[in-house]
């Protein structure tokens, strides 16, 4: 597999190990009911390291999705800047450096699993042979090689979400942005996919920004958990997760895990 990462070049030419730098970021929306504005995010400062698995966790409405969308250039900042490898999010998007996984699978229902995974590569104009090979690799990665011929309506929610992940990885993006990808799934499927995601991450070594409202999930997956609090959306804590890797589901029964979950839970303000 071609996951070998090119050495990144920043504008200064110095590799400081920072993948995404968020400085003094604020995002405001006009309020529907009044003239006032909603502060979705205020004064966010955050550095995300290269290759790091980072989670944004918080109750709904605290601005997790907005932060993710701002990194992906789907939302413009009201104030402050987001820098990705020394470049603007827009430049990175145009170079197709982001792989995005949404909460719903967002599959094209007229395409089979294979053709869904293939779609981004068609846009890039890659030759068919390469596309076919990469599609198989990606489906293999998410354990769906045998289901490539299925249409979305023939697959379970978990399978659909795995196709979505395979599609996000198909363009070999530098950064994987995931917005509550497993929150619509049942507990068993979610746990299985959590483990799968970690093994994919250990192979692919992408930088992952993972949004969730599930504290245990964020602790299990992440190198660091960023705790967001609402009204206005802000960072109230960043918790280092020093559990050893590779991690398996059993780690959740250890006292260290429980302690970390408590630390994250106690970091919320004004909820």
Ligand X SMILES: Nc1ncnc2c1ncn2[C@@H]1O[C@H](COP(=O)(O)OP(=O)(O)O)[C@@H](O)[C@H]1O
Of 35 and 129, which has the nearer Cβ to ligand X?
35
Of 49 and 111, which has the nearer Cβ to another protein?
111
Residues that bind ligand X (CB under 6 A): 29, 38, 40, 58, 60-66, 233
- Determine the Cα–Cα distance for residues 122 and 116; give it in Å rounded to an integer: 10
CB of 213 to another protein, least distance (A): 18
Residue 145 host element (H or E) = none
Tokens for 88, please give them.
Answer: 């603007």
CB of 82 to another protein, least distance (A): 15
66 contact, one of ligand X, another protein, Mg ion, none, CB 5-8 Å limit per kind = ligand X
108 contact, one of another protein, ligand X, Mg ion, none, CB 5-8 Å limit per kind = another protein
Q: Residues binding Mg ion: what is the number (CB under 5 A)?
A: 1
Of 90 and 248, which has the nearer Cβ to another protein?
90
218 binds Mg ion (CB under 5 A): no
Q: Are 166 and 88 in contact (CB under 8 A)?
A: no
Residues that bind another protein (CB under 8 A): 72-74, 93-96, 98, 100, 102, 104, 106, 108-112, 114-115, 117-120, 122-124, 128, 131-132, 135, 146-154, 171
Q: Are 46 and 216 in contact (CB under 8 A)?
A: no
Q: How far is CA 176 from CA 31, 206, 222, 228, in A?
A: 30, 7, 13, 20
- Determine the Cα–Cα distance for residues 6 and 137; give it in Å rounded to an integer: 20
Q: Which of 26, 42, 55, 65 binds Mg ion (CB under 5 A)?
A: 65
Triad 210, 4, 221: Cα angle to 5°? 25
Torsion of CA 154, 169, 122, 124, to 10 degrees: 160
Q: Are 162 and 142 in contact (CB under 8 A)?
A: yes
66 binds Mg ion (CB under 5 A): no
What does the binding site for Mg ion look like in residue numbers (CB under 5 A)? 65
């Amino acid at each position: 597999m071609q996951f070998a990462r090119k050495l990144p070049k920043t504008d200064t030419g110095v590799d400081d190990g920072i993948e995404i730098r968020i400085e003094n970021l604020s995002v405001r929306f006009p309020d529907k009911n009044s003239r006032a504005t909603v502060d979705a995010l205020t004064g966010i400062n955050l550095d995300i390291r290269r290759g790091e698995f980072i989670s944004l966790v918080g109750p709904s409405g605290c601005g997790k999705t907005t932060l993710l969308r701002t990194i992906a250039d789907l939302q413009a900042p009201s104030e402050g800047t987001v820098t990705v490898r020394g470049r603007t999010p827009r430049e990175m998007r145009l170079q197709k450096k982001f792989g995005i996984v949404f909460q719903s699978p967002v599959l094209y229902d007229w395409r089979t699993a294979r053709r869904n995974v293939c779609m981004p590569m068609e846009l890039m104009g890659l030759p068919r042979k390469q596309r076919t090979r990469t599609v198989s690799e990606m489906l293999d990665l998410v354990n769906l090689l045998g289901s490539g011929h299925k249409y979305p309506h023939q697959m379970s929610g978990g399978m659909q979400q795995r196709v979505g992940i395979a599609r996000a990885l198909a363009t070999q993006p530098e950064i994987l942005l995931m917005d509550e990808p497993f929150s619509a799934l049942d507990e068993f499927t979610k746990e299985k996919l959590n483990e799968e995601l970690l093994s994919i991450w250990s192979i692919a070594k992408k930088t992952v920004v993972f949004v969730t409202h599930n504290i245990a999930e964020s602790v299990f997956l992440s190198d660091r958990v960023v705790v967001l609090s609402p009204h206005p959306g802000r960072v109230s804590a960043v918790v280092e997760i020093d559990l050893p890797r590779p991690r398996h589901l059993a780690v959740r029964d250890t006292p260290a895990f429980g302690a970390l979950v408590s630390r994250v839970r106690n970091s919320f303000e004004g909820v």
